[in-house]
Chains A and B, each alone.
Chain A
Amino acid sequence: MRAVVTVTGSDRRGIIAKVSGFLFERNVNIEDISQTILGDQFAMIMMVDTSESGEDFAALSSALEEMGKKIGMTVRLQHADIFDAMHNV
């Protein structure tokens, strides 16, 4: 499944390493990655493919959220279709 991981919060060291390591452990492939600073907020957006991951999407999403809390960031995993639907005619 094509999905989007977003990470937002105050900028700090090691965010990319933490999140990508987490995804690697669960066999989630990162296809594209970009980041931006909005005001004092850090935002990272990853396009990922979860089809090789054995884990259920909801479980993966909860685990990511939990991991985000530990590093003080908000992390979300969402099906890519919602962005396609809203931003493409």
Chain B
Amino acid sequence: MFNKFDVLETIDMIEKEHLDIRTVTMGISLLPCIRATARETAQAVYDRVMQKAEKLVSTANALSREYGIPIVNKRVSVTPVSLITAAFPAQSTLVGNALDRAAAELGIDFLGGYSALVHKGTADYEEAFLNTIPEVLATTGRLCASVNVGSSKSGINVDAVRTMGEIVLRTARLTGDRDGLGCAKLVIFCNAVEDNPFMAGAFHGVGEADTVINVGVSGPGVVQHALKFIPEADLTDAAELIKRTAFKITRAGQLIAREAAKRLGARFGIVDLSLAPTPARGDSVAHILEELGLEVVGCHGTTAALAMLNDAVKKGGVMASSRVGGLSGAFIPVSEDIGMIESASMGKISLDKLEAMTCVCSVGLDMIAIPGDTPATTIAAIIADEAAIGMVNNKTTAVRVIPAPGKKVGDEVSFGGLLGRAPVMPVHTGDAGKFIRRGGLIPAPIHSFKN
């Protein structure tokens, strides 16, 4: 039984501290949709998504109403499309367009899974598929793409890394009129997870059940607020408080996930207990780190503070939910976090510091604007560095950078809404072209051979 203070605490978390269910994401297998031609496949994909997710938005809205907790986003993730269109990869755009149309008609905000898994090698059909990404992202609104280029088990496919450097640049140019917005919908992973509910990297893994509900919870504001009450506590006690707070947040997610799965006739997949910031004040991961005692995020000490935060969030969450998955940890997107935006605008956080931070948190270099004239090989080298961190540390890392066309250091890009705005940050200008052009596979590290 709960008491009146518990009730009031929950209400304050929701109304004053931005506690919300960040996303209810329905994973849908598209494997039954493969047909002889691209056109037939696109139709089958459209029909299946429309049928499976028909009640997603209305069910999420009803749950939000009953439990009194906002459910911000309703999303769909699908089987990596490159597997569905392997017989006609150059026409993958037909399937991409069908998915985007379904997303618009369902009223969901994003649909993820225009994806390819090429961590051990790129098949011809996958190469052709990758080349459709820039055009698809330029001509659709809600579709998100992701590519897995490495894993701890297989190493890093540097040929794919090189290709993705070029694809990122082409995507930015094709959406140059919108500050390179297409790149905000494209993630390059190492160790991609198959049950991630968050965008832009969500896809429905082939090992998953037919239809699954994955829920992402958030609440950086709740953690920051809790820490305000113990300004003098040592870090052991601070970690304990974060853990307890993460527990409560995750329990709300677990409840919604179970109930949503039941009502939608899907399997309950996982709860992803990530602290996902938004550009709103009071909803910032950077501000949690500053609450812990950093003058500004990006200063020395940031990596240690983030390591503690990330670990405490995971421990609280694991205790709270029977099925934890996805990325689970703290997100550090630059453009989507007011504290990050402010630090970057003042030049207090660098790409190098962000890279170090990705060694200890759940994701990677995320939503970072870089100069529009950054060479493709430099972007590829940024991807390779991140993939190496993920590969060696057995964790997911990702790159979502936006080489903003026509913009240089000091300019700002603005995407609006949850994607936010970001100052253009400098990249190192030394040339890694020769290294990237060598291609091949960086072998998996020795500690990956656990069989």
Contact = CB atoms under 8 A, between A and B. Distances in A.
Given A4-B7, A45-B7, A82 B62 contact: no
* A61, A83, A85, A86 interface centre (most CB from chain B within 10 Å): A86
Interface string B55-89: 00000001001111100000000000000000000
Contacts of A8: 11
Contacts of A86: 2, 6, 10, 248, 251-252
B446 interface: no
A83 B7 contact: yes
Given A82-B255, A83-B2, A61 B65 contact: yes
Given A58-B62, A88-B1, A82 B67 contact: yes
Interface of A: 4, 6, 8, 34, 36, 38, 43, 45, 57-58, 61, 76-79, 81-88
Contacts of A78: 66-68
Given A81-B67, A82-B69, A6 B252 contact: no
A28 B227 CA distance: 39
Interface residues of B, number: 20
B66 A6 contact: no
B8 interface: yes
B40 to A, nearest CB: 40
16 contacts: A6-B8, A38-B8, A43-B4, A57-B66, A58-B62, A61-B65, A79-B68, A81-B255, A82-B252, A83-B10, A84-B1, A86-B251, A86-B252, A87-B9, A87-B248, A88-B1
A88 B248 CA distance: 9
Given A36-B4, A83-B2, A76 B251 contact: no
Given A78-B66, A79-B68, 19 more contacts: A6-B7, A6-B11, A38-B8, A43-B8, A45-B7, A45-B8, A57-B65, A58-B66, A61-B66, A78-B67, A79-B66, A81-B255, A82-B67, A83-B7, A86-B6, A86-B10, A87-B6, A87-B10, A87-B248
Contacts of B11: 6, 8, 76
A4 B252 CA distance: 16
B20 to A, nearest CB: 12
B254 interface: yes
Nearest to B255: A85
A34 B254 CA distance: 28
A7 B302 CA distance: 41
The 6 closest A-B CB pairs, nearest first, are A78-B68, A87-B6, A85-B251, A85-B255, A87-B2, A82-B67
A83 B254 contact: no
A25 B303 CA distance: 58
Contacts of A58: 62, 65-66
A8 B62 CA distance: 23
Contacts of B2: 83-84, 86-88
Nearest to A88: B2
